[in-house]
Structure 1
Amino acid sequence: MPTYEMPMLLRLMTKPEMRTILKRTAQLIFDKGGFIRKIENLGVKPTPFKISAHGAIHKEANYFIFYFDVPPTKVIEIQDEYTRDIDIARLAIVKELKPLQQPCTLHEELLPPPYRPSVKKLLRVAQIQEKKNMNKQKFQYNNGLDYLPFQR
């Protein structure tokens, strides 16, 4: 099962109400055959713009991020269920992207250009192309006329 992350904006409420909403949210994930890896509470923050949801305008919200695994066929059902919940102002479910592990090449990049492996490779490719071009015949207009009829 792939890992998904779901940033949620909940309306402002008391802690007991928030606890019940989070339990309800988690229970739906469990009911769909998934499991929760992590829940992050980012706290109460102002929203970047006024959010109108379920007949109310939200200027501040409780920010949470759920990290969970669930079968891909159930993601649409989960998102549909949460969009109808009046306590959730905004949410999105996205597949968690793992950062690519790139080797550090700082020591190569600090070398002068002629000594870098990438530049050496480019020079070798250029030399090969140059040798190919030397063997090529140059095109000659051989029409037997002293002038080119198609040029004015």
Structure 2
Amino acid sequence: MPSYELALVLRQLPRPELISVIKRTAEAIFDKGGIIRKLENLGTRALPHKVSEHGVVHREATHFTITFDTAPTKISDLKEEFGRDIDIIRRYIFRVEEPEEHKCTLHEEMLPPAYRKDVQEIIDIAKRKQKPKYNYNSGLDYYPFQK
């Protein structure tokens, strides 16, 4: 199952109601066969502009991120369910890409340029593209293209 990150913007609520909203969201993910990996509270902040959702204008909100794993077919169901919740102002679901494994090449990069593998490859390419020079042992006593 691929990993997803859910960014939630919740309206300002007292702590017990905020906990119930997070429980509802978590239960929705569990009901769709998902696994929650991480839940992070980013705190209450002023919104960059007024946001109108479910007929109410909001100027401040509480932000959460939830990292979870679920089947890709269930994402649209989750978006629809979170869209109906009146306590959620905004919800965004992003797919989390696996980080690429990078091999440390510091020991190669510290070598002088002539000994580096990538520089040697460039030199080989240049040698292959080089035009052959006139061979003086071709049977002629002179260079035929001389003026």
TM range (shorter): 0.7 to 0.9
What stretches of structure 2 of length at least 5 have no aligned partner? 134-147
1:134 Cα deviation after fit: 2.9
Q: How does 1:67-86 map to 2 (within 5 A)?
A: 67-86=67-86
Question: Secondary structure at the residue paired with 2:16?
Answer: helix
The alpha-carbon distance between structure 1 residues 14 and 101, as it changes in their structure 2 partners (threshold 3 A), is same
CA distance in 2 between partners of 1:46 and 1:106 (Å)? 45
One-letter identity of the residue aligned with 1:89:
I
Which contiguous aligned blocks of 4+ residues in structure 1 show a shift greater than 6 angstroms? none
**Greater CA deviation, 55-64 or 21-30?**
55-64
TM-score by length of 2: 0.80
Q: How does 1:2-151 map to 2 (within 5 A)?
A: 2-130=2-130, 133-134=131-132
Question: Secondary structure at the residue paired with 1:80?
Answer: helix
CA distance in 2 between partners of 1:119 and 1:50 (Å)? 56
1:88 Cα deviation after fit: 0.8
Aligned residues: 133
TM-score by length of 1: 0.77
Question: Secondary structure at the residue paired with 2:132?
Answer: helix
Question: Secondary structure at the residue paired with 1:61?
Answer: strand
CA distance in 2 between partners of 1:20 and 1:98 (Å)? 31
Per-residue CA deviations over 1:23-45 (Å, capped at 9, x if unaligned) read: 11111111112221221111112
CA distance in 2 between partners of 1:126 and 1:45 (Å)? 58
One-letter identity of the residue aligned with 1:45:
R
1:8 Cα deviation after fit: 0.7
How high is the sequence identity, in percent, across the aligned residues? Answer: 46
What stretches of structure 1 of length at least 5 have no aligned partner? 136-152
> RMSD value over aligned CA atoms?
1.9
1:106 Cα deviation after fit: 3.0
